Amino acid sequence: MIVRSFRDIEGTDRHVKAASGTWESKRIILAKERVGFSLHETTLYAGTETSMWYANHVEAVVCIEGEAELTDDETGETHLITPGTMYLLDGHERHTMRIKSDFRCLCVFNPPVTGREDHDENGVYPLLTEPDDA
């Protein structure tokens, strides 16, 4: 059994800040826990725009605070995301988040991230893995 709080991981290597300066993520469950997913609390900052494409992952996001406009970059369709709203990137959609007010969300990734990922020039997280214990 694992018990930890987001407060416990502030300032550790699980507290990742994007090189772009547009978001930070507290990664409370990572690939090294070997449970098949990772869980993060991510904050995207008001007034920022981030384009992403999870070519290697499926991501589910639940907004718990703030407001953002989510655009499907492939179709141009937009959605207002507010507290209690979930979106699922089950088709590896290229998407852009325009943050209206500090946007805090819970994110689940499959396959799990290692904690070392940041978006590359295409908005993609590389597919990193943990070494086998055996």
The per-residue pLDDT for range 58-117, each reduced to its tens digit, is 999 999 999 999 999 999 999 999 999 999 999 999 999 999 999 999 999 999 988 766
Residue given tokens 């090294």 in the structure block = 32
44 pLDDT above the threshold of 90: yes
Using the 8-state DSSP alphabet, how is residue 126 labeled?
A: P
Using the 8-state DSSP alphabet, how is residue 111 labeled?
A: S
Taking the C-alpha atoms of residue 98 and residue 10, their distance in angstroms, rounded to an integer, is 25
Asked if 113 and 31 count as a contact pair (C-beta separation under 8 A), the reply is: yes
What pLDDT does 134 receive?
Answer: 37
Quick check: helix, strand or coil at residue 24? strand
Helix (H) or strand (E) holding 28: strand 23-29
Assessment of whether the complete model's pTM goes beyond 0.95: no
Residue 40's Cβ-count burial label (10 Å; 0-12, 13-18, 19+) is buried
